[in-house]
Structure 1
């Protein structure tokens, strides 16, 4: 039997349990019960979480510009011929529906006069201005700082407002704004021929009618009403309206125009000059489309290069973190927990006692951990003492306090063992020693 006691003494089976005493080698320990008030005092200590490098806040951005396509050819002049009569081919009435946003349109986001709202939208609108315009890019999107790219192409104003509202809510911003189109550039109608001034007219939220388009071009400039005609090229079909018919028919004057319509006022019967004019417009549109395609291709290439640079820089930083080559802040978890470990404080936010205890610490084992004796040990400001914040979670409602208690660098989270845990371990080692000694 003497050999048994010597064996137990040698292996440390009968030992002293780990506790939080009121005196230590670094000074006295002040034990403070965790309450709502004491947690508020503990959280008041100054601490600024480490921030991620600026590379994580950067985006690919929008680069590139539309390549120029040079001067356009002059329309050819056809041989003049006197007609014997003019036929009438009137285009069908259309319902344009609500205006839909397109590439080139400029929208304006406006905020109310309230200073609080402007502060809430910092990064979205300039501090000195309550209105800021955004041009819809060729891919139909706009880029808003702190929110990112939002695709608005083909949407009505109401749909665009809803899309921006959702994007702002996703970024925890106050969605208090108004939206309007300040410049209409995506939908146009061309007017040429016998008018005072050839023009390219935008289509706005209000329908553009035939009479309005001709008036905007300075009106019809011809003295030969008998043989003048208005020709409209739409979707591959040419329509013809004799000028006399146009002047006598209000319903024709109110014809609604649509994007891509080309109007040519001709004083000749033959279609040669009108055909040349329309062909020129088709060529212009083709060149514009090709230029846009080239610009989008260039933009995608530049964005791809930029994204690769960002991904590489971020991957390098992640590798440095994995190799422990980046200075971080830590909290240490000890005692009767699922896993004694070192808990890394996160970037750009504060962690709570619950975060450390139930992630790296893997919780408190029911069999051995004393949930009523949970401590957060923190050195005092003068370095000559320790303050121990005590959480008694025998009342499970007190676990809510663990979610509110903010951790600081070099805190030690300690959980005591249950009173019978030490005895249980001693008895286990006694049994093992008995088997070892053959008693």
Structure 2
């Protein structure tokens, strides 16, 4: 009775072994609970389109943007890796021309008058003794026919400006050209020749700010002048240069709004001119690039290959890497695939058995998140299946010899 059962069991096991050789994947499929199979159906589905990898396809692949990742600083809840493209959507403030400078509290103005020697200082100043307070008394020399007198004034908190020879002027919010016109009228009204020059010598009321992190965080206060200084000039004067090794991001705050753009966008030929205004704040920060990742899968040891844009590695770089696909006899060289994108995923097939195909592989630049898949040799898969059923052979032998513990 035992011999019959053993033979029956032997036939069953032999049948299973034969099925394993015909359909190895079914034999090696793990047992899964029904609820686990239900969850499998909820996994992401990917549509994969297959096409050959040739020089034409390589040219198209190389046009894809190299999406670099940068490390964005922050606290434990916000520090993360972000794509460069998400930070490089230029947002510039509305373009505007340089506006005339409006005088404010603290601005300094100088009045320079050219006087004939016949005109006395006492007549000019109303009998005031100017002495050593920064103005002059009579500077005429015996052989001179004219003299130059310079007086300075400062816009006070009440918005007024006092200039000797002119008097008090309302200066707050006015342009220097308006004050010149008013001073000219005063001279003419007083019967004096309007030979004078009125200029702003101290720009103290309107300020912009620059904060950088070039090694050590530093802030600079920038006076806004009547020359219409641009943001591009400020960046150049601060010694901030374009660097391929980092992503330089500029945040520009104005009137409660924040605009973000890359330094490369600001330095482009078609970039708008941004003239500084009072209370503008410029933040310049360098973000470090992080290496991209290419995934190597299939009939090789799974691994991640780091790539950086400066080196522009190719598919050949991955294939000939140490312990790479072409270094493994288990790899099926006729079934090399480069997968890129998702929904759909484009799979490019390369037959690396042909030595000339290496030129095609070297023409394709890798991009972050590319997948290089190399199928396994059928013989290796068969050997693995045989190894997995070796314990069954031992069981068959024990059953045949009736060798039970």
Fold conserved (TM > 0.5)? no
Structure exhibiting the larger radius of gyration computed from Cα positions: 2
Q: TM-score, normalised by structure 2?
A: 0.42
Q: TM-score, normalised by structure 1?
A: 0.39
Higher helix share: 1
Higher strand share: 2
